[in-house]
Amino acid sequence: MASPDEIPPSDPRNDEHHDDEPGAVDPSATPRGMFGRALRLGGAAARMGATSLGARMRGLVGKAEEAQKRAREVNAARLAEVVGDLRGVAMKLGQFASTQEDAIPDEFRDALSKFQSQAPPLVFPFVRDIVESELGGKLHERFASFDRKPLAAASLGQVHAAELPDGTPVAVKVQYPGIDETVRADIRAMRLLAKPMRLAGHKFDIREALDEVEDRLTEELDYEHEAKNTERCRELLQGWDEVVVPRVHASHSSRLCLTTDRLYGRHLDEWVATEPDQEARNEAGRRLGSAIWHMEVELAFLHADPHPGNFLFLDDGRIGLIDFGCVKWLSEDFLRGYRKMAVGLITRQKDLVLDSCHELSILPREDRETSKAEAYVEWGYLTTEPLSFDGVWPGDWGEYMERLHGRGRELAMQIGVWLPRDLVYLHRVTFGLMCFWKRLDSRINWHRLALSFLQPPEAEGDGAGAAEPATP
C-alpha cells in the first residue's frame, strides 16, 4: 500500500495529510441564527461607518480624495470578509452587486466579485464527510480522483474536479453544512425589514417579491431538484448548437451532492483577459443574448442566476451553462404579455407598453393617464435604451449604467418597488445580460437580435407584430 507521501493530491484517500486551501473555513464558525447574523452585519456596518467618518475628518486637513479612496478600500475588504463568513443570502446579494457595473464603487465591486466563484472554501474533511454520507462508501471507492482544492466556491456550495471510476471527468458540487438554516434565517430577517415598508402603501410592499425569492432559494438548496432542472434544460437545448449543458450523473448525486460532466472553459473575466478581438467580443455577446432570449421566449424558462461564475466560454466558441439550481419556468399567459411589453418598449410604442402593463397586473387601467403610468414608461424606455436603437448602439456603457441606476432610484420613489413575482427574476436576468455586454464591449445590432426572438414572423393581432420583423 502506498504511503501518505506517495499518494497524489487528487487521490480520494489523500484527505488527511496536507494542509487545507489557504483561507478555508470551518462551517461551524458561520452564524446560522437570524440574530447572530444580524449582529455580525450590524457590527461590520458600524465599523464601516466609523471608517468613512474618519476619512471625512482627515479630508478636512489633507487630501480628501485620497482619504476617501483608502476608506473605500478598507470598507470593501471589511464587507467582503463578513459576506464570506455569512455566505447564504448575504453572499447572493454580494454576487449580484458585483455584476452591477457603475452602481457601486469599483473598490466594492472588485472585492465582491470573488464571490461569483472564488469564495473562501470549506475545509476538506467536511467535504469528504458530506460526499461519503450522501453517496455511501468511501471517497476513493466512489471516485478515481477527487481534487481537494475546489474549482469554484460560491454562496451555497462549492465544486470539486473529480473522475469517476471509468475515467469520466466530472464536477462535484457539495452543499455547505447548515446553509439551509442560514438561508431561512436570512429570509426571516428580510421579511422583518420589509414590514415597515408596507406602511408606505402597496407600491413599497415587497412581500410578493420575497415569496418568489424564497421559493427559488428553497429549490436551490435541493440538488435533486437541480439535477431534474439540468436534465430538462439540457434536453430542451439539445438542438441549440451555441450552448452546452453538462450531463448529470444520477449515480453520484443526491440532495446535497450533485455530479455532472465537467466543462472546460473560461469565465468572463478570464476570457476577456485573453484580449479577444472585436469580432470575437461581438460574437460572444450575440451568443449570450441569443441563448438567454431563446430560453426565455422560445423555451419558456429563465436561467435565473446570471452572474459570470455560471457561464463558461469554451474553446470551440460555445457557451457552457452551469448551475441550474435557480430556474424560473414561465407560463404561456405571462410570456404573451411579456413579449408584447418588450416589443412595445424596444420599438417605443407607448400604448402597447401600457396595454401589457395592464395584462401583467403591473398597472391598473384607471392609472393609465396618470404620472405613475408616465414613470413606468420612462423606466421601461430607460432599461431598454441599448435595444431601441436600430443599428450598432453608439452609447457609452459606463455613462448609461450610471444614468440607469441614478434615475432608477429616483423613479423607485415615485412608482415604488412592488413587482409581480413573475418579473422579479426576469429583471435580474435582463440587467445581468447588459452587464455581460458592457464587460465584453460587444457592439452589434441588439435591436434586431432582440426582435428576432420577441417578435416572430407569425406574430399577429396582438400588436407585437407592429414593427418590422428583424434579423440579427
Q: How far is CA 449 from CA 15, 261, 387, 427, in A?
A: 50, 31, 9, 18
Residue 198: per-residue pLDDT: 61
- The pTM of this model reads 0.76
Q: What is the dihedral of CA 171, 177, 180, 185, to 10 degrees?
A: -140
**Share of residues in the chain with pLDDT > 90 (%):** 45
Q: Is 209 helix (H, G, I), strand (E, B) or coil?
A: helix
Supply the residues annotated as catalytic. 305
How confident is residue 27, by pLDDT bands cut at 50, 70 and 90?
low
pLDDT tens-digit readout, 41-71: 555 555 555 555 455 545 544 556 666 666 6
pLDDT tens-digit readout, 387-408: 999 999 999 888 888 888 888 8
pLDDT tens-digit readout, 405-428: 888 878 877 777 677 888 888 988
Which string of b and e fits 11-20 if b means at least 16 CB within 10 Å? bbbbbeeeeb
Residue 152: per-residue pLDDT: 86
E strand spans, 194-256: 243-244
Q: Please state, rounded to an integer, the average pLDDT across all residues of the chain.
A: 79
**pLDDT reading at 457 higher than 80:** no
How confident is residue 266, by pLDDT bands cut at 50, 70 and 90?
very high
Interval 260-282 mean pLDDT: 94
**pLDDT reading at 453 higher than 90:** yes
Residue 372: per-residue pLDDT: 87
Which comes out higher in pLDDT, residue 235 or 198? 235
How confident is residue 15, by pLDDT bands cut at 50, 70 and 90?
very low
Residue 93: per-residue pLDDT: 56
Q: Which residue has the cell 409581480?
A: 420
Nearest to 108 by CA among 126, 131, 81: 81
Residue 52: per-residue pLDDT: 52
Interval 149-159 mean pLDDT: 86
Residue 186: per-residue pLDDT: 75
pLDDT tens-digit readout, 192-218: 666 655 655 556 677 888 888 889 989
Bridge-based pairing state of the strands 243-244 and 319-321:
parallel
Least confident of 4-18, 227-241, 354-368: 4-18
Highest mean pLDDT among 54-68, 180-194, 362-376, 446-460: 362-376
pLDDT tens-digit readout, 113-148: 555 555 667 789 989 999 999 999 999 999 999 999
Residue 188: per-residue pLDDT: 74
Residue 297: per-residue pLDDT: 94
Residues in a beta bridge with 329: 301
pLDDT tens-digit readout, 302-360: 999 887 889 999 999 999 999 999 999 999 999 999 999 999 999 999 999 999 999 99
Residue 174: per-residue pLDDT: 96
Q: 12 near 124, Cβ under 8 Å?
A: no
**Share of residues in the chain with pLDDT > 70 (%):** 68
Residue 280: per-residue pLDDT: 95
Residue 414: per-residue pLDDT: 77
Residue 452: per-residue pLDDT: 94
Interval 238-267 mean pLDDT: 95
Q: 226 near 157, Cβ under 8 Å?
A: no
Q: Is 70 helix (H, G, I), strand (E, B) or coil?
A: helix
How confident is residue 3, by pLDDT bands cut at 50, 70 and 90?
very low
Burial (0-12, 13-18, 19+ Cβ within 10 Å), 240: middle
Query: Which grid coordinates belong to 245?
Result: 449543458
Question: CA quadruple 430, 435, 438, 442: dihedral positive or negative?
Answer: negative
Residue 332: per-residue pLDDT: 92
Residue 456: per-residue pLDDT: 61
